[in-house]
Amino acid sequence: MMEKPQKTQEEQQSSTQMAAPDGGWGWVVVGSLFVSSALVFGLIRCLGVFFVEFVQYFGESAQAVSWITSIGLAMQQLMSPIGTAASNVYGTRPVVMMGGFLSGLGFILASQATSLLHLYLTMGFISGLGWALVFTPTVASVMQYFTMRRSLAIGLGFTGVGLASFAFSPLFQYLVEVYAWRGALLVLGGLSFNMIACGALIRPLGKPKVVLKTENLTKLNKCSSLLSRIFECFELSLLSHRGFLTYAVAITFFNAGYFIPYIHLVAHSRHIGFTEYQAAFVISVTGVADIVGRVASGWFSDLGKIRMPHMLVVWTGLLGLSLMLIPVAVVYSGLIVISVVYGFCAGAMTPLAFAVLPEIVGIGRVLGALGLLQLIESVGGLLGAPLSGWLKDCTGSYTVSFIAAGSFLVLGMLVTMSLPYFWSCTAPPLPSPSKRKSQDGSIEDGLLKQTLSLNSVPENLCPLDDTPYLDKELEK
């Protein structure tokens, strides 16, 4: 005989979502993103300094060593949905702090490696998982704190990547010379632990509120509710969203080519006859140009003169072209000039790649969309660097590798141009404000789904459907 459904009442603590303050403590969160992005992607960019050391020490091919960075990058992107889902459940602060610990632990264990397999497991899987728990939740927190100045805030936060590219490359080269690669990895582990402090600085918006939640205790409804929560927590409905899927394919192509220069540019510079410090300086110059590009792009896009998808296409096309021209520069001054152009374009496109997403899926689904987007693009990150290493092993030079990297970016540019509303000179139509209830009676609000009392729901919540969303609706 079927058990009669019973209902229990459970009090839970959650945070009510407030309107984005566009400043205040948000600038501290931007500072947290600055340091975190420097210690994630800034560090990844400069791992090419260790590339030659690993090839010589382990006696392995360029393709085999390239898998270290590729696995780490793929883990960062593949596990991003776990980071976003954990942030939905436990909050961003503890998730980011745990990610900082895992990132540092991976490098410390890597310093004791005796084979490439050990480096795959430590620098690849462990540190990569830590990066996944740090990066996407931190970016989402900045989006939560800013509306009108979101692109500028993201651009300023991402300048940490460019600054790290400028500072880390010669620093890592110095550490390798003084302490060897094992000692240098220990120092990297200590640096990565600073992301624990970055996580502690991320303060949720709003003040705690005791709310009422009703649950049905029948097994069937419990199972259905669990599946529904998982489906909504990971935003799996986006997998049927045409605009999101199109953009995910474009970002996958971007990802396949974007990181190849940072893995092979130092080795390419040494291969054509430049010294170790000359090769490291190329990355440093790229980092300075990257900083300028990120700030300039974020500032200009917030002016609203040109739609962000159009700006993204322009910078991506120029980036792909500059990559194809790197093999042409056999004189050091020419290589520096092309590296400056490459760095500026790479920096300019990065904040736009994130800032475009709310226009495609809506601000309320950004956290889940970021996780799924990084999961899908991990295919490009996993295969891009080993493919370029294999091309180098086959041809004996990095020329074809850089041409392939530029081609991936051009392909991504073409896919981006097929987005809905791309060819419109004006922004997509605004949806009418509404609220969406989940099956348990809660309201999905802001970047994080919060279980709110029905009497305390803000009036300016916006829909979480497939209709494009613009932040200006919040001002009405």
Secondary structure (DSSP) of 132-166: HHHHHHHHHHHHHH-STTHHHHHHHHHHHHHHHHH
What tens digit of pLDDT does each residue of 202-244 get? 987 754 333 334 444 455 566 666 666 666 666 777 888 888 8
Contact assessment for residue 452 and residue 437, using Cβ atoms and an 8 Å cutoff:
no
Point out the least confidently predicted range of 52-56, 147-151, 229-233, 250-254: 229-233
Point out the least confidently predicted range of 278-287, 343-352, 377-386, 457-466: 457-466
The per-residue pLDDT for 21 is 66
Q: Across residues 322-328, what is the average pLDDT?
A: 90
Rounded to whole angstroms, the Cα distance separating 443 from 100 reads: 31
Picking from 168, 123, 116, the residue whose alpha carbon sits closest to that of residue 290 is 168
Q: Is the pLDDT of residue 16 over 50?
A: no
pLDDT grade for 437, boundaries at 50, 70 and 90: very low
pLDDT grade for 39, boundaries at 50, 70 and 90: very high
Rounded to whole angstroms, the Cα distance separating 354 from 359 reads: 10
Q: Is the pLDDT of residue 313 over 90?
A: yes
Bin 286: left if φ > 0, else alpha if -120 < ψ < 50, else beta: alpha
Rounded to whole angstroms, the Cα distance separating 211 from 225 reads: 19
Q: Is the pLDDT of residue 12 over 50?
A: no
Q: What is the DSSP letter of 215?
A: E
Q: Across residues 322-340, what is the average pLDDT?
A: 90
Point out the least confidently predicted range of 31-35, 143-147, 310-314, 319-323: 143-147
Question: What residues form DSSP beta bridges with 7?
Answer: 216
The per-residue pLDDT for 237 is 78
Q: Across residues 23-50, what is the average pLDDT?
A: 88
Bigger pLDDT: 143 vs 220: 143
Domains of the chain, each with CATH number or no CATH? 26-204+235-416 (1.20.1250.20)
Rounded to whole angstroms, the Cα distance separating 100 from 94 reads: 10
The per-residue pLDDT for 470 is 38
Bigger pLDDT: 192 vs 87: 192
The per-residue pLDDT for 78 is 83
Q: Is the pLDDT of residue 451 over 50?
A: no
Bigger pLDDT: 441 vs 107: 107
Query: Would you say the pTM of this structure is higher than 0.95?
Result: no
Helices (DSSP H) in 303-441: which residue ranges? Answer: 308-325, 332-355, 357-361, 366-395, 399-416
3-state secondary structure of 234: coil
3-state helix vs strand vs coil in the chain, percent to 5: 70, 5, 25
Bigger pLDDT: 318 vs 389: 318
What tens digit of pLDDT does each residue of 377-433 get? 878 877 887 888 888 888 888 888 899 999 999 999 999 999 888 887 776 654 333
Picking from 154, 197, 190, 195, the residue whose alpha carbon sits closest to that of residue 171 is 190
Rg of the Cα atoms in the chain:
23
Tell me how crowded residue 161 is: count the other CB atoms within 10 A of its CB: 27
Rounded to whole angstroms, the Cα distance separating 445 from 426 reads: 27
Please report the sign of the dihedral spanned by the C-alpha atoms of residue 289, residue 134, residue 258, residue 410: negative
Q: Across residues 90-112, what is the average pLDDT?
A: 94
Helical (H) or strand (E) element with 59: none
Chain mean pLDDT for the chain: 78
What tens digit of pLDDT does each residue of 262-273 get? 778 888 888 888
Q: Is the pLDDT of residue 459 over 60?
A: no
